[in-house]
Amino acid sequence: MKPARFAYLRAATTEHALEALHRGGGEARVIAGGQSLVPMLTMRLARPALLVDIMHVTALNRVDDDGARITVGAGVRQRALETRNGLAKRQPLLAMALPWVGHMQTRSRGTVCGSVAHADPSAELPLVLVALGGQVHLRSGHRARRVTAQEFFTGMMVTARAEDELIEAVSVPAIRPGTGYAFREISRRHGDFAIAAFAAVADERGLRLAVGGVAAIPISRVLPTDQAFGDALDAFAWDLDARDDLHASARYRRELVRRIGRDVAQEALRDQKARAVQEGG
């Protein structure tokens, strides 16, 4: 478990990093917290010729909250966001999901954008991003663009990021009045990859349930809140096309979508009511 030879570049600025990515082509990888990449390096699953370390680019190490959106820079560690003052008030779903990301030790190293870049199908942060309709801010040497989370995750560990692009930040809408949130994850042990994870958002546009760990990417669906809910959820469970693996059968995953999905959806609706009462009062 020793990595193959690679070159290491500590980028001083975003531009410096982008230039290195451009030069490196497919052989360069960004390293931030390294919680996914380093194990892949030591197992020699990944053999990039160049690692571009962005953790010393101060411009990337910031969280911005402009009232409408919360923007998390590429250098922000998961634990830093988790312990940010008032996070639960500004975006409750993020605050609910972050404690489920790995373990406290890995969150102290791992970054929010790194988890998004890695696009593991069981990861919590991509799920939250999809549930909230978040955006991924991409930048290369010659352009900057934003893509929605839905567009960004194109497959298991495959994203819309081009090889010369850096995820500069991700952003999610801040809490909006009249919105309820809920999150829950089922895994074998706390901190393990989710067998199924659920994030629900209830607002004036309806009830959205996003499911991670079942399909190749997190999938979000608007569900009815009337008596059609059960059938719609069952259809969702089947459409996710769950597969068997070592830890859970496809059938068990569908059952979790039906049962825990229902609970999480209901919790978001209750949360919406509770917040409406608070806001009204």
Partner 1 sequence: MALDLHARNGDEAGWVGQSIPRVEDAALLAGRGRFIDDLGTPPGTLHAAILRSPHAHASIERIDTAAARAMPGVAAVLTGAELQGLTSSLVVGVKAPVECWPMAIDRVRYVGEPVAVAVAADRYLAEDALDAIEVRYAPLPAVVAPLDALADGAPLLHEGFPGNLASDRSFSYGDPDAAFASAPHRIGVAVEYPRSACTPIETYGVVAEYDPALDAYDVLANFQGPFSIHAVMARALRVPGNRLRLRTPPDSGGSFGVKQGVFPYVVVIAVAARLAGCPVKWIEDRMEHLAGAVSATNRSTRLQAAVAEDGRILALDWDQIEDCGAHLRAPEPATLYRMHGNMTGAYAIRNVRIRNRVVVTNKLPTGLNRGFGGPQIYFPLERLISRIAATLGLDPLDVVRRNLVPADAFPYRTATGALLDSGDYAAALEAALRDGGHAGLLARRAQARAEGRLYGIGYAAVVEPSVSNMGYITTVLTAAERRRAGPKNGAQATATIALDPGGTVSVHVASVPQGQGHRTVLGQVVADVFGLRPADIRVITEMDTAKDAWSIASGNYSSRFAPAVAGAAWIAATRLRERLARVAAVQLNARPDELVFAAGKVFSPGNPGNAVAFSRLAATGHWAPATLPEDVEQPLRETAFWTPPQLGAPNDADEVNSSLCHGFIFDFCGAEVDRDTGAIRLDRYVTMHDCGRILHPGMVAGQVTGGFAHALGAALLEEQSYGPDGSLLTGTLADYLIPTAMEVPEPVILHYETPSPFTPLGAKGVGEGNTMSTPVCIANAVADALGLVDIQLPLLPSRLSEALHGAEPSSPRREARPPPAAPGERALFGSGHAEVDAAPEQLWAMLLDPDRLARVVPGAHNVQRMDETRFKAEVTLGIGPVRGRYRAEIALSDLDAPRSVTLSGSVDGVLGFGRGRGRLRLEPVGPTRTALTYDYEAAVGGKVASIGGRLLDGAARVIIGQFFASLAAQASGRRPSLWRRLLRLFRRRA
Residues near partner 1, by CB under 8 A: 1-5, 29, 37, 40, 43-48, 118-122, 154-160, 186, 188-190, 192-193, 195, 216, 231, 234-235, 238, 243, 245-249, 251-252, 254-256, 259-260, 263
Residue type, 235: A
Q: How far is the CB of 245 from partner 1 (least distance, A)?
A: 5
d(CA 94, CA 78): 10
Backbone phi, psi, residue 217, to 5°: -135, 160
18 or 41, CB closer to partner 1? Answer: 41
Buried b or exposed e, range 26-55, using 16+ CB within 10 angstroms: eebbbbbbbbbbeebbeeeebebebbbbbb
209 or 256, CB closer to partner 1? Answer: 256
Q: How far is the CB of 45 from partner 1 (least distance, A)?
A: 5
155 or 177, CB closer to partner 1? Answer: 155
Angle at alpha carbon of residue 161, lines to 128 and 159, rounded to 5°: 55
40 or 174, CB closer to partner 1? Answer: 40
Q: What is the DSSP pairing of strand 135-139 with strand 69-73?
A: unpaired
60 or 233, CB closer to partner 1? Answer: 233
94 or 219, CB closer to partner 1? Answer: 219
> What secondary structure letter does DSSP report for 188?
S
CA distances in angstroms from 272 to 59, 119, 134, 185, listed in the order given: 36, 29, 20, 20
Q: How far is the CB of 3 from partner 1 (least distance, A)?
A: 8
Classified as helix, coil or strand, 162 is coil
Q: How far is the CB of 218 from partner 1 (least distance, A)?
A: 13
Q: How many CB atoms lie within 10 A of CB 281?
A: 5
Q: How far is the CB of 233 from partner 1 (least distance, A)?
A: 12
89 or 243, CB closer to partner 1? Answer: 243
Q: Can you say whether the dihedral through the CA atoms of 194, 235, 220, 85 is positive or negative?
A: negative
Contact at 8 Å (CB) between 167 and 134?
no
Q: How far is the CB of 252 from partner 1 (least distance, A)?
A: 4
Q: How far is the CB of 144 from partner 1 (least distance, A)?
A: 19
Contact at 8 Å (CB) between 40 and 4?
no
